[in-house]
Amino acid sequence: NAGVTQTPKFRVLKTGQSMTLLCAQDMNHEYMYWYRQDPGMGLRLIHYSVGEGTTAKGEVPDGYNVSRLKKQNFLLGLESAAPSQTSVYFCASRAHGGGNQPQHFGDGTRLSIL
Amino acid sequence: SQQGEEDPQALSIQEGENATMNCSYKTSINNLQWYRQNSGRGLVHLILIRSNEREKHSGRLRVTLDTSKKSSSLLITASRAADTASYFCATGGSNTGTASKLTFGTGTRLQVTL
């Protein structure tokens, strides 16, 4: 029962470097989400996807790009990392069902930008 | 911006006592959900209450929803040390553009001591 798996778990980057965070779910869920969590801010939605091949902007999309080429994977990219992107990133997925479905979360990627 | 604001920000109680945390939100909702986050882990779904429901129970959890006041409360009865975690409310929107997303509050940190 893997659920939602995020890789890597930790990463340190230098300003200006790029990287991709991978989220994989094995529950055949239609919807997938990327959030960032900062102290005292709760979770803020970066981008989300309502199905394979679709993506949409969330509350804080600037500086990030996403792709959903396969239903089970949702990738979050940072093209040119900035210190303000130091955060814990969470991926989540949920089944289709009119919004009344719980989201299932991975254990996060802790990213530090120096 | 955060949809939900939780109160209190932090709560410390002794094992066996009840814990109550509150959530207020700003716009119309389809449902309201509560999640738990243990330190260093992802969020785990606890309970969902629909906008046409007023109260819901699940084990030691009791959730109420007052849509006229745009507020919800989570009661944990007979708390245990294992309940120590952060608790977040999240609202699912009622409009086409918001129904597929959740907006999270800032969370309540609960500490249960022996």
Taking an 8 Å cut-off on Cβ atoms, the answer to whether B42 and A41 are in contact is: no
Give, in order, the Cα–Cα distances in Å from B35 to each of A16, A42, B61: 35, 12, 12
Chain A residues with CB-CB distance to B24 below 8 A: none
Backbone angles phi, psi at B81, to 5 degrees: -55, -35
Per-residue pLDDT at A26: 97
Say if residue A8 is preceded by a cis peptide, omega within 30 of 0: yes
Per-residue pLDDT at B100: 81
Per-residue pLDDT at A40: 77
Chain B residues with CB-CB distance to A41 below 8 A: 2, 106
Q: Is the dihedral of CA A55, A56, A61, A62 positive or negative?
A: positive
Per-residue pLDDT at B3: 61
Question: Measured between CB atoms, does B102 come within 8 Å of chain A?
Answer: yes
At A71, list the tokens: 């239903």
At A42, list the tokens: 């709760």
The Cα of A79 is separated from the nearest Cα of chain B by a number of Å equal to 25
Chain A residues with CB-CB distance to B90 below 8 A: 103
At B1, the pLDDT band (50, 70, 90 cuts) reads: very low
At A20 the three-state DSSP class reads: strand
For chain A, 114 residues long, the average pLDDT of each consecutive 10-residue run is: 92 97 97 94 93 95 97 97 97 86 96 97
Nearest to A106 among B30, B40, B42 (CB): B42
User: Residue A73: what residue type?
Assistant: N
For B26-40, B62-76, B94-108, which range has the lowest pLDDT when averaged over its residues?
B94-108
* Residue that the structure tokens 């994977």 belong to: A73
Spatial distance between the Cα atoms of B100 and B81, rounded to a whole number of angstroms:
34
Per-residue pLDDT at B97: 67
* Residue that the structure tokens 């699912």 belong to: B92
Segment 27-56 of chain B within 8 Å of chain A by CB: 30-31, 33, 35, 40-45, 48, 50
Per-residue pLDDT at B50: 94
Give, in order, the Cα–Cα distances in Å from A43 to each of A92, B68, B87: 11, 25, 12
Chain A residues with CB-CB distance to B2 below 8 A: 41-42, 44
Taking an 8 Å cut-off on Cβ atoms, the answer to whether B101 and A90 are in contact is: no
pLDDT, averaged across chain B: 92
Chain A residues with CB-CB distance to B107 below 8 A: 42
pLDDT tens-digit profile of B45-85?
999 999 999 999 999 999 999 999 999 999 999 999 999 99
Residue pairs between chains A and B whose CB atoms are closer than 8 Å = 66
At B93, the pLDDT band (50, 70, 90 cuts) reads: confident
Percentage of chain B modeled with pLDDT above 90 = 82
User: Is the confidence at residue B89, as pLDDT, over 80?
Assistant: yes
Q: How would you classify the pairing of strands B85-93 and B71-76? A: unpaired
